[in-house]
Structure 1
Amino acid sequence: MFHTVIIPSAKRPQILHETIASMLQQQTPADQILITVADKSYVLPETLAFPKVQIVLARPGLCQQVNDAIPYIDSCATFVSILDDDVELAPDYFTHARIFSEEHPEVAAFSGFLVRNGNVERSEGRSLLLSFTDEPDRSFEIQSTVYGCNINTRPEVLRTVKFDERLPLYGWLCDADFGFRCRKFGICVSYNACRLVHLMTSSGRISGTRMGFAQIMNPYYLYRKGVIPFWEVLQSHWLIATRNNLIKLFFLDQKIDRQGRLKGNIIAFFMILRGQIEPEFMEKLS
């Protein structure tokens, strides 16, 4: 099996470097690692010196960066992982992922088991993963989609489905859309043997106003596409986002710009009321 890894990244070269350095310590390392960025300055020279690492200069935006990397996937590739630049994988993640892909051709795409999702330093994440000394749980659960920080699929699926480029910049909910459209090729699952930690590092991410806009506009756009039902837009996205931003606005949350997010929420709601379903408008916000 020839294994290609795609890592879209922006403006955090040190984090990217640490992720790839860790990834190269896998029991069965990837055969090709494509770093896809909008600017070469986002990658340290020592990162490019790693074996099997290749840079792809792409258009800005997560969806565009992944799509622009697809033509560079080696023709021998039979398995592709799309990973965030701030994940820490268990040392046997790739080993279990490859075996699972070969044994389950009915699976179009799958994600691993998140031991921790956010609010964790890399050293702590490594310790958490190394604390698992038992035999990995090889069970899996059918899901409606995949989780964007780690998506495993086949090259032919990725080349056909691709990522929706109308979801700009950080591509909020692009994983939900991608997983939904993958289902024409098979099921989407979560596989427990592939353990990982998502650091969810905030540096390099989009502004509070842009994020707040995406919290409202992107799920409604996916509803209009037929990806998610309207009740999910209301309960799982709009209600949670606006409630958190309103309540936590008064707690002076230094890690999250609640005032900016609330402003973005309001802008998106007004646009939707006017019939403007334009997730791309986020790029015009500061």
Structure 2
Amino acid sequence: MRVSLVICTYMRAKPLQRLLESVKIQENYPNEILIIDGSINDETRIILQQNKYDNLKYFKVSDQDRGLTKQRNFGISKVDPESDIVCFLDDDTVLTPHYFKEICNTFQSNDDIIGVGGIAINENKWKPQDNNRNYNKKKFYLFEGYFYKEGLRNVARNSLGLASNLGPGKMPLYSHGRTCGFPMTGKTYEVDLLIGMSMSFKKGILDRIKFSKFFEGYGLYEDADFSLRALQFGKNVINTNAKLYHYHDPSGRPNRYKYGKMVVRNGWYVWRIKNPNPKFIDRFKWNSITVLLFLIRFVNILTEKNKIVPLTEGVGRMVGYFSLVFAKPALPTSDN
């Protein structure tokens, strides 16, 4: 399969170089690597000039194409028309050597699969179950012989009957799905949502739909929106053998107030993409969980060392929530 890799980057020259070094040793090397650089300096361009990577094409975008959503769509427009698969990776990830081989094998295993994602090893908190131990279902989530220790927000949701009624990667009708991912079982699981750090789609899908203009700017949840719209063409899956590391480099991220506001407003938008006509119970649960989560963020002021982070994010979430009363995001009228 012909693979095009699109990496959108902003002010992360060193993390990008680290990612490309991991691409360099891949068993299946991409047929083309497109770097879409929105940086406001030349550090990324200089590093790429100083280090050679086969099949690499570099594009420095102007203000009008800067931002994750715009850069992804720009990258799609530059992909080789003969490509079969387009892979997207965050610029602060590092791949294990068989990553692209696993992605290609997954697509080839089933013609119905149109989207494939991997898992971040360093973020995986699953552990094998102890058969001699009883697990409190409010504090632990159990799955195929593994357990995942729930955080405060999910313990609260479990206790209040607001937990997701679906497995990992699936979005319930009231949104707020499980974010625990999957244990490294070596299996492939069907999901609704792929994560932007590691997602690949058949080229034909990207010829038909693009990343939504609603998310232009920082783009929080643009991956969820695209994943949901792609489901009209086939299945999305997570291959737990497609492994990488995700380091969440802090550069290029918005402040916590803006982030908190986007969590709510963008989250509402994605929820309504999934469920455009929610029933009363779906509305009740979405609102209840959203309020619960921003209240918990305020509680975190008492438990976190840097108290300004949960405070500003909590205020952002609260402002974002009440802003929905007066100005809800406009939903698309079509998939285009």
Call closer, same or farther: CA 1:118–1:74 in 2, change over 3 Å.
same
Question: Is 1:6–1:82's contact at 8 Å kept on the other side of the alignment?
Answer: yes
Per mean C-alpha deviation after superposition, the further-off stretch among 105-114 and 245-254 is 245-254
Which amino acid in structure 1 is aligned with residue 252 of structure 2?
Answer: G
The aligned counterpart of 2:122 is: 116
Q: 1:144 aligns with which of 185, 188, 192?
A: 192
User: C-alpha deviations, 1:54-96, integer Å up to 9, x for none?
Assistant: 1223412211110111111012211111011111211111111
Question: Is 1:82–1:150's contact at 8 Å kept on the other side of the alignment?
Answer: yes
RMSD over equivalenced CA pairs, Å: 2.6
Task: Say if 2:334 is the partner of 1:273.
Answer: no
Which amino acid in structure 2 is aligned with residue 63 of structure 1?
Answer: T
- Cα distance in structure 2, aligned partners of 1:52 and 1:274: 49
- Cα distance in structure 2, aligned partners of 1:45 and 1:235: 49
Using the TM superposition, give the Cα deviation of residue 240 of structure 1 relative to its aligned residue in structure 2, in angstroms. 5.8
Using the TM superposition, give the Cα deviation of residue 11 of structure 1 relative to its aligned residue in structure 2, in angstroms. 1.5
User: C-alpha deviations, 1:120-174, integer Å up to 9, x for none?
Assistant: xxxxxxxxxxxxxxxx955211111212210011111122221112113331111
Call closer, same or farther: CA 1:21–1:140 in 2, change over 3 Å.
same
- Cα distance in structure 1, aligned partners of 2:111 and 2:313: 41
Task: Say if 2:238 is the partner of 1:190.
Answer: yes
Task: Say if 2:298 is the partner of 1:246.
Answer: yes
The aligned counterpart of 2:16 is: 16
The aligned counterpart of 2:100 is: 94
Question: Is 2:106–2:116's contact at 8 Å kept on the other side of the alignment?
Answer: no
Counterpart secondary structure, 2:121 = strand
Which amino acid in structure 1 is aligned with residue 48 of structure 2?
Answer: T
The aligned counterpart of 1:55 is: 58
Using the TM superposition, give the Cα deviation of residue 218 of structure 1 relative to its aligned residue in structure 2, in angstroms. 0.6
Question: Is 1:215–1:241's contact at 8 Å kept on the other side of the alignment?
Answer: no
Q: 2:73 aligns with which of 45, 48, 67?
A: 67
Using the TM superposition, give the Cα deviation of residue 222 of structure 1 relative to its aligned residue in structure 2, in angstroms. 2.0
Task: Say if 2:196 is the partner of 1:173.
Answer: no
- Cα distance in structure 1, aligned partners of 2:326 and 2:68: 28
Counterpart secondary structure, 2:213 = coil
Question: Is 1:35–1:53's contact at 8 Å kept on the other side of the alignment?
Answer: yes
Which amino acid in structure 2 is aligned with residue 6 of structure 1?
Answer: V
User: C-alpha deviations, 1:197-242, integer Å up to 9, x for none?
Assistant: 2112222211111101111101112233345864574466x24641
Per mean C-alpha deviation after superposition, the further-off stretch among 152-161 and 221-230 is 221-230
The aligned counterpart of 2:110 is: 104
Question: Is 2:119–2:198's contact at 8 Å kept on the other side of the alignment?
Answer: no
- Cα distance in structure 2, aligned partners of 1:156 and 1:16: 27
Q: How many residues align?
A: 262
Identity %: 20
Question: Is 1:24–1:30's contact at 8 Å kept on the other side of the alignment?
Answer: no
- Cα distance in structure 2, aligned partners of 1:118 and 1:165: 31
Question: Is 1:110–1:188's contact at 8 Å kept on the other side of the alignment?
Answer: yes
User: C-alpha deviations, 1:3-25, integer Å up to 9, x for none?
Assistant: 11011111111111111122111
Using the TM superposition, give the Cα deviation of residue 100 of structure 1 relative to its aligned residue in structure 2, in angstroms. 1.7
Counterpart secondary structure, 1:94 = helix
- Cα distance in structure 2, aligned partners of 1:193 and 1:214: 32
Q: 1:203 aligns with which of 230, 251, 266?
A: 251
Which amino acid in structure 2 is aligned with residue 33 of structure 1?
Answer: I
Call closer, same or farther: CA 1:109–1:235 in 2, change over 3 Å.
farther
TM-score (norm 1): 0.82
Counterpart secondary structure, 1:110 = strand
Which amino acid in structure 1 is aligned with residue 214 of structure 2?
Answer: R
The aligned counterpart of 2:87 is: 81
Question: Is 2:11–2:38's contact at 8 Å kept on the other side of the alignment?
Answer: no
The aligned counterpart of 2:47 is: 46
Which amino acid in structure 2 is aligned with residue 47 of structure 1?
Answer: L
Per mean C-alpha deviation after superposition, the further-off stretch among 55-64 and 29-38 is 55-64
TM-score (norm 2): 0.71
Call closer, same or farther: CA 1:169–1:150 in 2, change over 3 Å.
same
Call closer, same or farther: CA 1:55–1:171 in 2, change over 3 Å.
same
Where do 5+ consecutive residues of structure 1 fail to align?
120-135, 280-286
- Cα distance in structure 2, aligned partners of 1:195 and 1:69: 24
